[in-house]
Amino acid sequence: MANILTIFLLISTLVTGIFWIFYRVKDVKNYLINKKIFKNNHLYQKNIIKLKDRIYFFDSLASFFPIFLIIFIVRSFIYEPFQIPSGSMMPTLLVGDFILVEKFSYGIKEPITHKTLIKTSKPKRGDIVVFKNPKDHNTDYIKRIIGLPGDKIKYDFNSKHMHICANYLNKKKCQGELLINYSNPKTSNFIQKIYFFNKENTIEEKKIYNSLYFNIVEENLNNVKHNILLLNEMKNSKKDYFQQENMPKLTWIVPKGEYFMMGDNRDNSLDSRYWGFVPEKNLVGKAIKIWMSFDKNENEWPTGIRINRIGNIY
């Protein structure tokens, strides 16, 4: 289903559109009547017939129709702004980044049911995509496409590297793994704060346990290069990972019409490794630009503007 803002824009466009048409029809009718009187009497009578009791509120409401219509069309079919609320896509996208999502990248969709009306192009491996969470359609997620339909993906629990056999589902065998290279890790300036909760006198207190520095690694995903973050001190339990039916742990075959998504912050991202695949119908669009970036931390107020981050997303 569409989100609340989309429904609000649709209703607002329809309501203001009804009043706009009503007053435009009355204006045309008034013009024709005046023209007829002028022709018969050979005398120009300015405003001889006026709209009676034209209510100012509804007249003003009608004037908003073009604005609502433009916003609805642009936001539903062309571009939509989003804010990055968490650090799951660091270092590519940071908390406080405001991004522009191209809605027509993978097809023009009906904004309420998200049914594809016109197909444009297929998602590509390495694209950064906004999509509806498969478990909660009211929540938008942003991740990078790692696996395409038919791919077989193996995730190495220790090295945190991936092995991908492209189009395995159709060939039923791996004729050669996709080329994935990783650079040597380097210490980054990104920090992960580890918290613990301590209850004293029935009052829950949150305290910082430690601050760990992420390693930054360049991942070359079949010639699509991007940086990822790794935190070797953190290892999730294997039981937390999504297990596909009839498949061993940490191995997945992406079904037809679905995609395997991962965050660039590999040790702080809730993605397809934990809840499975994303259907194509859930894709909202491709993230293409950062149009504003505020210097802030998660759940904190901004302290400045990061001008240097404004531009294209890679």
- Alpha-carbon span 21 to 25, nearest angstrom: 6
18: Cβ contacts below 8 Å, ≥ 6 apart: none
- Alpha-carbon span 267 to 248, nearest angstrom: 21
Nearest to 96 by CA among 310, 307, 264, 297: 297
* Residue type at position 54: R
- Alpha-carbon span 314 to 311, nearest angstrom: 10
Nearest to 256 by CA among 144, 147, 175, 106: 147
Q: Which of 103, 143, 152, 286 is flagged as catalytic?
A: 143
- Alpha-carbon span 55 to 52, nearest angstrom: 9
- Residue 174 has phi, psi (to 5 degrees) of -95, 110
- Alpha-carbon span 312 to 314, nearest angstrom: 7
Q: Assess whether 143 carries a catalytic annotation.
A: yes
Cross-strand bridge partners of residue 98: 83, 292
CA 123 to chain centroid, in Å, comes to 14
Q: Which of 12, 76, 86, 88 is flagged as catalytic?
A: 88
The DSSP element (H or E) to which 55 belongs, if any, is: none
Give ∠ CA 183-187-189 in degrees, rounded to 5.
125
The beta strand positions in the chain, using DSSP E, are 79-83, 97-102, 108-109, 116-118, 128-133, 136-147, 152-155, 162-165, 180-182, 186-200, 203-221, 224-230, 251-253, 258-262, 278-279, 283-295, 304-305, 311-312
- Alpha-carbon span 311 to 100, nearest angstrom: 10
Q: Assess whether 256 carries a catalytic annotation.
A: no
Give the residue numbers annotated as catalytic, written as ranges: 88, 143
